[in-house]
Structure 1
Amino acid sequence: MSRNYLKKATPTATTGAPTADVPSIVRNVIDDIRHDGDAAVRRYSDKFDKWMPESFKLSSEDIERIVASVPQQTLDDIRTVQANVRKFAEAQRASLQDFEVEIQPGVFLGQLNNPVATVGAYVPGGRYPLLASAHMTVVTAKVAGVPHVIGCTPPIRGEIPSATVAALHLAGADEIFILGGVQAVAAMAVGTETIRKVDFLAGPGNAFVAEAKRQLFGEVGIDLFAGPTEVLIVADETADPFMVATDLLSQAEHGPDSPAVLITTSEGVGRKTIELCDSLLTTLSTADIARVSWGQLGEVVLAKDVDEAYAIADEYAFEHVQIFTKTPRDALTKMKNYGALFLGPMTCVSYGDKCIGTNHVLPTRGASRYTGGLWVGKYLRTVTYQEVRNAEVSGKLGQLCGRAARAELFEGHARSGDLRAHDHLGDTYDWIKAEERQPPEA
């Protein structure tokens, strides 16, 4: 679909590009930790974070002391946000029902949703202490029924991030490590002398953390292949350009590689938004970051009508999509490709990021075309079971199995079916010899 741009992205060769060979660096770190365990973790923590305490794991006394240092208002806010996340996660869990169905007389098939045993939750802390990620990863895992959750978060400028530790603790983390980057993710994935191996990794991170999760996927499960934050706003002539500009920049401040896009049916709204973004950047404290992402990756597209705006938005398939139109709930049926929808001017992406209760770990880089974000179900293994209690039906299934398997030249499979047809229907087969079915002597 052709696009009419009022502002088009003009990325440079270095926009958001890492200055190092990320895959190679990550591979070496993982290999070293796999080989040297804690010794390698200590080396890399010292190298990357200048952090090498006697123990990376916080004791219960450490946690109690750190939480006590956090302002009461912050603790109250953490509890409120986590209550919102927990309520929504509980509703998600309740929607996943175990069941058993009798598909024909005596044949029972069932499904169970079993939590993984151990989760590693990574909470970033480089540019910003993203303590909200503790709510999203740990609370959701605990609602899913995960017995053991390890939380890892890096030091920030040589200091323990107290509010993040409080968030991890109040969310229900069973162990908390002040450890960051690839060394944290790799240690949880492969296991060391002091950090137990997990079954599943969750949480956002920088390019190195994302690459580590990519390389470790398969050895452990992961939530998502996450990339830079994205925001897209669909607006008609009723939208407030000041609000549009404010919300675009709210996400542009995540990093210099965070695209922010407006698709509007109103040229006036589009041009005023561009003007206001430039104006608001003069007072935004994070303008050094947001100016780069908006300047090089920001786009404003003019659509002929709202339906075309939704169609263009679906082509972008962005992580966050805000709807500022006369009837915002139309987007629920008009759009398909997004990580999360935010409907109407009283809602914003920042609510989803920080406090409203839905999960902010969401698909980026077009991944919303095939997956959703982190939710209770990511921590559950949907497994099945089957039981046949009717002898005649078992025999008939055996006959069917024999025919189906031989059509695919799987003789061993066919014989498993033959045996049930023989036992329950009296069918005879050359390969079944009576003397071979005698019980062994005591």
Structure 2
Amino acid sequence: MTRLPLPKGLTFVKSPARDAVADNRPVEELVAGVLARVQAEGDAAVRAFSAQFDKAELDSFEVTMEAREAAVARLDPQTLADTEFAIANVRAFAEAQLGSLSEIEVEVRPGVHLGHRNIPLERVGCYVPGGRYPLLSAPIMTIVPAKVAGCEEVIACLPPNAHEAMIAGCHLSGADRIFRIGGAQAIAAMALGTESVPPVDKIVGPGNAFVNEAKRQVFGPVGIDQLAGPSEIFILADHTGDAEMLATDLLAQAEHDARTRVGLITTDAALARAVLAEVDAQLATLSTAETAGQAWRDYGEIVVCESEAAMIAYSDIVAAEHLQVHTEDAHSLSKKLRHYGSLLIGTNSSVVYSDKCSGTNHTLPTMGAGRYTGGLWVGTYIKTVTHQWLTEEGVRQVAPPAARQAASETLEGHRRAAQLRLDRMQVQA
């Protein structure tokens, strides 16, 4: 359900059957209990919650270097090659992004020097979800940009029952330490620190509702990348759209989770009807139809817009996590869009490419957050901090207005601090 008014000229061929926003109070209460107990009991609490939630009895949480290397050795050769291919692309793009970040120092007035530096975070925690599938791209997307940014230590946490290939992915991506801890207890351990897990400065990565809520509750003393809801894909299409391709891409994302939000926004009513029929036809033979079909029935939508302007306006309200553009002039239309997580331009681009290996990051804003933020990138792991230094001429420039402003605000301490340096300079003169 959107909080913004819908543009005119929309006809819903299929509307979502359910609201994507659920009652989160039970999750909030459970997570608060997890955090409190981990803070009080450390490793003992983490061990107890791992047994309770993951059915895992662990003497040690950290994955040894021998186990990491063994996991890599047991990877299928083609899987290893494909993982290294994805890592290379994500690293190359992150390095290009890092190269675009400049440090500055400018003299805004005579003697008033201002600047900023880009400083990598010292220690970050990357949550790597286990999920229903071994998502080998997940550790790549969070760990590789952190290493490119220059973080001193990158901690990875993944559920103890995660596929062994996920450990290999963390290792190949460059994680300094890997812990077999999942769920809210993993977020608690990274945020608060335990006997085994060091506290981090920022936590990144997607997860289930409990992980998401834990990130929300620890935010403040610890930074987070974003609060992620269920995955989303929307596609903009005109009369040139291919119904088979559109339905295929929608269902590819829908199979992630039964709460995935999928939608087609089009200016062509005939295409809308064709896609509706094609989705049903493909679900009949899709091996993941139980999940994808549930997502489509509950959260799928198809809307016909009377004009391109209405299509753009509705898309910007949705602010989809992944937004594909299948129109006659996709590049031109794309320049008119402003709210989305990541844009896939033209029919040759697909969410599956960016999700897996093309190089852009798949950790993206959902639930309308694309209206105010972008996704995970190398800058997520860097803080831009300012500095200043003044010559005596700089003091002469800024001290008088600063002192006057402080006086007008009746802040006498401020006025004295502003005036002191100027007075001393005048005495020395």
User: How high is the TM-score relative to the length of structure 2?
Assistant: 0.95
Distance 2:345 2:243 in 1: 16
**Aligned to 2:335, what secondary structure does the other structure show?**
helix
Residue of structure 1 in register with 2:219 after alignment:
217
Cα distance per residue 1:217-246 (max 9 Å; x no partner): 112000011000011100011110000000
1:150 shift after superposition:
0.4
* Poorly superposed stretches of 4+, deviation over 6 Å: none
Residue of structure 1 in register with 2:382 after alignment:
380
In structure 2, give the amino acid aligned to 1:319. E
Note if 1:148 corresponds to 2:153. Answer: yes
Say if 1:251 and 1:260, in contact at 8 Å, map to a contact too: yes
Distance 2:174 2:301 in 1: 41
Say if 1:16 and 1:256, in contact at 8 Å, map to a contact too: no
1:417 shift after superposition:
1.3
**Aligned to 1:201, what secondary structure does the other structure show?**
strand
Q: Which structure 2 residue ranges, 5 or more long, are not aligned?
A: 1-6
Residue of structure 1 in register with 2:400 after alignment:
399
Residue of structure 2 in register with 1:439 after alignment:
none
CA root-mean-square deviation:
1.7
Q: How does 1:12-411 map to 2 (within 5 A)?
A: 17=22, 21-156=26-161, 161-389=163-391, 391-411=392-412
**Aligned to 2:364, what secondary structure does the other structure show?**
coil
Distance 1:25 1:129 in 2: 26
Distance 1:107 1:399 in 2: 14
Distance 2:322 2:29 in 1: 31
Aligned length: 422
Say if 2:43 and 2:196, in contact at 8 Å, map to a contact too: yes
In structure 1, give the amino acid aligned to 2:381. Y
In structure 2, give the amino acid aligned to 1:97. S
1:310 shift after superposition:
1.3
Say if 1:122 and 1:153, in contact at 8 Å, map to a contact too: yes
Q: Rg bigger for which structure?
A: 1
Moved more, 102-111 or 312-321: 102-111
**Aligned to 2:387, what secondary structure does the other structure show?**
strand
1:61 shift after superposition:
1.2
1:72 shift after superposition:
1.5
Say if 1:189 and 1:220, in contact at 8 Å, map to a contact too: yes
1:19 shift after superposition:
9.4
Residue of structure 2 in register with 1:434 after alignment:
none
Distance 1:343 1:99 in 2: 33
1:165 shift after superposition:
1.0
| C-alpha spacing 1:399/1:42, structure 2 compared with 1 (3 Å) | same
Cα distance per residue 1:317-367 (max 9 Å; x no partner): 111110000000123321111001100110011111111110111111111
Distance 2:76 2:317 in 1: 44
Moved more, 199-208 or 93-102: 93-102
Distance 1:341 1:98 in 2: 28
Percent identity of the aligned residues? 47
In structure 1, give the amino acid aligned to 2:102. Q
In structure 1, give the amino acid aligned to 2:154. V
